[in-house]
Structure 1
């Protein structure tokens, strides 16, 4: 172990100022999953084939989509603020930095809650009936690529991820956009 890894282990996995929001987001996500699965469990078998149920699982996906756009806005703002065209635009850069700070603070909690909606969406799709078509396959691939993102995000807090969080996040974003809009 090098010195940086030893310091990282002493600090804990999540910085102290972000811990409360992190754990609060986990509690909210757990409640969303718990009540969502309870709702799905109480449905009758005849309603699983209805258009109303299809709207229900699409609503789970739509909620996740809105939250994921917020999560991805952090990376977009990070790129935009580094553009050379903004060097002389102090006012614009000031507002962008305020937005960047806001999206950075809420990036992890919103992502955790979005993952809860993704889990409900995936479970409801399998309950509805998984068919091997483009939409379902792209969603399944997105889900598989999403799996390492939160794990590498924990390593990101420790600066031990070697950019895996960003790479797997970009791969997920591409597959997610394909699944959402094609």
Structure 2
């Protein structure tokens, strides 16, 4: 038995004591290195960077489309319909982002039990994992919508003013979201996110 173990260690199939120590030290160093980064979790960090890359691509291509599809004038009914569509596209991902807050409240208040609670927990894990990446993509669509509004020309009516107020409230949302990774936001992300969602829904509908 002992000979078999020694042979397995020699071939590398079973790590010996020294290799286990080296592996443990490497893992500790990786954890310390991750803690120094703003987003400690590597998988989450990769998702965020991927979403940021996609968001910049969406904004770039959308802006390019604006200027090449409407070279003569932005002050047309067709162009208005286009930038309004980008605002409409942002609704679904924003509702997904907001669902994270709803599911959290449901579990904290113990509104559901048994099987429904189990399903809610699984949904919460899903929305938590994709909360930031989906939020970033929705911000890209909102950015395209805002760019289109100002290219078209700002108007002093309910739709434009409510949108402007929602935009002002939106600014601290991603900033406070960054501070959440270091537990420094003091619930500002929750509060501003909720207010923005309500204002966005008022503006959209």
TM-score (norm 2): 0.79
1:11 aligns with: 36
SS in 2 for 1:45: coil
Q: For the residues of structure 1 that align with 2:181 and 2:102, how far apart are their CA atoms?
A: 20
Q: For the residues of structure 2 that align with 1:36 and 1:101, how far apart are their CA atoms?
A: 32
1:112 aligns with: 136
Offset at 1:141? 0.7
TM-score (norm 1): 0.89
Residues 137-172 of structure 1 show CA distances to partners (whole Å, capped at 9, x for unaligned) of 110111111011111101001101111111111121
Offset at 1:82? 2.7
Residues 85, 71 of structure 1: alpha-carbon distance in 2 compared, 3 angstrom cutoff: closer
Offset at 1:51? 2.7
1:143 to 157, 167, 175: 167
RMSD over aligned Cα atoms: 1.7
Residues 161, 85 of structure 1: alpha-carbon distance in 2 compared, 3 angstrom cutoff: closer
2:126 aligns with: 102
Pair 1:63-2:89 in alignment: yes
Pair 1:38-2:53 in alignment: no
Please identify the structure whose Cα radius of gyration is greater. 2
Query: Gaps (5+ residues) in structure 1?
Result: 1-6
Offset at 1:10? 4.4
Query: Gaps (5+ residues) in structure 2?
Result: 1-31
- Bigger mean CA deviation after superposition, 162-171 or 37-46: 37-46
Offset at 1:81? 2.1
Number of equivalenced pairs: 172
Give the structure, 1 or 2, with the largest relative contact order (CA under 8 Å, sep 6 or more): 1
Q: For the residues of structure 2 that align with 1:52 and 1:33, how far apart are their CA atoms?
A: 19
Q: For the residues of structure 1 that align with 2:193 and 2:109, how far apart are their CA atoms?
A: 21
Offset at 1:49? 3.2
